[in-house]
Amino acid sequence: MSRTWFITGVSSGFGRELTQQLLQRGDRVAGTVRNPNAVDDLKAAYGERLWTVELDVTDREQIRSVVQAAFNDLTRIDAVINNAGYGLFGAAEEMTDEQVIHQIRTNLLGSIQVTRAALPYLRAQGGGRIIQMSTWGGQATGPGGSLYHASKWGIEGFMEATAKDVAPFGIGVTIVEPGGARTEFRRGGVRLSEPMAAYDASPASMARNIPNLPPAVGDPAKMATIIIDSVDQDPAPLRIALGSDAYNFIHTGLTERLASLEAQRDLAFSTDFEAKPVAE
């Protein structure tokens, strides 16, 4: 059975890989781009099955207009994938106010607004899927990633809560947490703060070398296939970790957090009101 998908950021990386695989399967894709010429090859190969439109995910009104046009033109959209985003790295103090705001507006608010714009249509058609591209950095952290992690932890919290809210309407929500993948992310999807000498000896300085790291272990084609196939699972998986590095980072982070919580159990319980004796 063919499906219709709405995907933000299909010019490169996971967005392009997902789009290409879906078109090869015979599905239709409504894809948003910043550069309208970036997917000319796919449009030439697949014609009207690829519906594209320019979108800046930091523009709330443009998001509403584009989502409305996609649902109106394509009649039904089975799955919405929030994929557009980038990584801002460096120590928080090194970043400008503009960098901070733009990271949050793109990675967090952009996905929130696309989701909010799509929900009325998904409810009206009786259900669908929302897939949020996140990262292992939505459940764990590394040095030099404070703002990037803030955006990913934020969107994961939003999506986890939204999944509970929309389940009665037949809408499933899945958060995808890839590790490093051999996409253009390190070259085109990473932005670095202006280094401060004070942080030269800080672990945050490790982020300055992200564009020069060895090739990632993750295969984006394999990851994209799993993401696509997840829409056949019922109920929708809330989270999917992809890549051995993602599994290890998340496992370590959750283990440390749980151990810290257990160590504070008595302290937490000590702040409750004392139970009143039951009158005989």
Catalytic residues: 134, 148, 152
Phi-psi region of 81 (alpha: psi -120 to 50; beta: other; left: phi over 0): beta
Query: What angle (nearest 5°) sits at the alpha carbon of residue 113, between those of residues 187 and 222?
Result: 45
Q: d(Cα 114, Cα 190) in Å, to the nearest integer? A: 22
Which residues, in sequence order, are CB contacts of 98 under 8 Å at separation 6+?
none
Length of the chain: 280
* Residue 130 · residue 76 · CB < 8 Å: no
Tokens 């932890």, residue?
Answer: 153
